[in-house]
Amino acid sequence: MQLNKKIYIPEPILLDIQKRFDNFKGSQKSKGYITVLNMLKTSRTTLGNLKKIKNTIENVESPELSFLLKDNNFIKWYEHTLSRESDRLKTHKANKERAGFNNAHRKAHEKNSSIIPESLNVRVFINENIYNKIK
């Protein structure tokens, strides 16, 4: 998954978040406050940020972030968005396999050691006279 992929937040979700943000009475230095403030300013977030928010809401007791983002509409939206992106990636890799790629799950920046480039598979022919001079 591209964690830095930008995801635009729908207007109804932004309005719900804005209402909760306006009623927030906690510290303005808290992580949840800053995260939500950035989401409201840009009206978008990244996939990586959504995964962090989901993990924080489900596993960490963060009262600020829970108050600001534990809204049913927001939770349904981020679960749908994360599952959609995950399915898109699975489909992409399945299509690569069907197209005949050897290893569809290998990332583009990883080296495939089973392939030797033609430029490295070169035989060197040296004239005997030149070889004797080099010795």
pLDDT in tens, 44-83: 888 888 888 888 777 777 677 777 777 778 888 888 888 8
pLDDT band at 128; cut points 50, 70, 90: low
Tokens of 133: 């001079």
Provide the pLDDT for residue 131: 60
123 or 20, which is more confident? 20
Provide the pLDDT for residue 107: 65
Instruction: Tell me the percentage of the chain whose pLDDT exceeds 90.
Output: 1
- What value does the mean pLDDT take over residues 112-132? 59
Provide the pLDDT for residue 77: 87
Tokens of 98: 């069907």
Q: Does the pLDDT of residue 119 top 60, yes or no?
A: no
Q: What is the pTM of this model?
A: 0.59
Mean pLDDT value across the chain: 75
Q: Which residues contact 79 (CB under 8 A, 6 or more apart)?
A: 54
DSSP notation for 67-112: HHH--HHHHHHHHHHHHHHHHHHHHHHHHHHHHT-S-TTS-TTS--
Nearest partner of 30 among 53, 64, 59, judged by Cα: 64
C-alpha 26/C-alpha 23 separation (Å) is 9
Beta-bridge mates of residue 52: none
Provide the pLDDT for residue 47: 84
Provide the pLDDT for residue 120: 54
Nearest partner of 49 among 37, 22, 61, judged by Cα: 37
The backbone torsions φ and ψ at residue 3, rounded to the nearest 5 degrees and listed phi first, read: -75, -20
C-alpha 114/C-alpha 92 separation (Å) is 23
Provide the pLDDT for residue 105: 64
